[in-house]
Amino acid sequence: KENTARKDEL
Amino acid sequence: MNAFRLVGDLCHLAAIVLLLLKIWKSRSVAGLSGKSQILFGLVFVTRYLDLVTNFVSPYNTIMKVFFLSSSIATVYLIYTKFKATYDGNHDTFRMEFLLIPCALLAIVVNHEFSPMEILWTFSIYLEAVAILPQLFMISKTGEAETITSHYLFALGSYRGLYIMNWLYRYYYENNFDVIAVVAGIVQTVLYCDFFYLYITKVLQGKKLQLPA
């Protein structure tokens, strides 16, 4: 789930 | 943020600026694939839908706005302002051969079956192959302007640097996204042939000519 939450890259 | 990702983003920025400079200074889009630019525009639109809902940092927002506006501007320049110089006869790669597989794959292989997540996944898959029409066009014309090859080198380097960024984040931040990494590797591998030509020719001062 952390993958969907953490979108901090361009 | 780490140096690999920052330099990668700056390479990406440089690529887009180089392209706009080439178009503006030569008043021509000769040798450019409008289809690739449409695909890049689609990549940014489907990836940055969270521009207003998910604030990460001023840097993140500013770069997203710039990438979105510059890619849309590039498509506009190619298909309207400098349409007369657009070489449609050599820009014949079928975009649907990229759009449909990426869409299907994004529906099947993703982290979460939600609209935002599927669109983000679609943009990741599409970005990996969005350069194909441009590389295909160069293979058909057999050459590329020097500034276009600098554009491609910067564009290919950006995702290569992102791979280093993902390695770094895997070891130091325990952060890993298999979809982004696999697609990023595919994307970078597609440039290898071009990288070889760029390093052996363009850096020797020659024009980028593909062996006939």
* CA neighbor of B5 nearest in space, from B157, B125, B150, B149: B157
Instruction: Please tell me the predicted confidence (pLDDT) of residue A6.
Output: 76
pLDDT along chain B (212 residues), means of 10: 98 98 97 98 97 96 98 98 98 98 98 97 98 97 95 98 98 96 98 95 91 72
In this complex, the residue of A8, A9, A10 whose CB is nearest that of residue B67 is A10
Domain ranges of chain B: 3-204
Q: How far is residue B5's CA from residue B60's CA, in Å, rounded to a whole number? A: 12
Distance from CA of B117 to the nearest CA of A (A): 7
In this complex, the residue of A3, A8, A10 whose CB is nearest that of residue B111 is A3
Instruction: Please tell me the predicted confidence (pLDDT) of residue B140.
Output: 95
Counting Cβ atoms within 10 Å, is residue B212 exposed (0-12), middle (13-18) or buried (19+)? exposed
SS3 B143: strand
**What DSSP state is assigned to residue B142?**
S
Split at pLDDT 50, 70, 90, the class of A4 is: confident
Chain A to chain B Cβ contacts (< 8 Å): 28
Instruction: Please tell me the predicted confidence (pLDDT) of residue B212.
Output: 66
Within 8 A by CB and 6+ apart from B135, the residues are B190, B193, B194
Is the pLDDT score of A1 beyond 60?
no
Please give the angle made by the CA atoms of B194, B109 and A1, to the nearest 5 degrees.
Answer: 110
Higher-pLDDT residue of A6, B67:
B67
- The 10s digit of each residue's pLDDT in B133-168 is 999 999 999 999 999 999 999 999 999 999 999 999
Is the pLDDT score of A2 beyond 70?
no
**Cα distances (Å, whole numbers) of residue B62 to B44, B51, B55:** 13, 10, 11
Name the H helices within chain B: 3-26, 34-47, 58-76, 96-108, 115-129, 132-141, 146-172, 178-190, 192-200
Within 8 A by CB and 6+ apart from B62, the residues are none
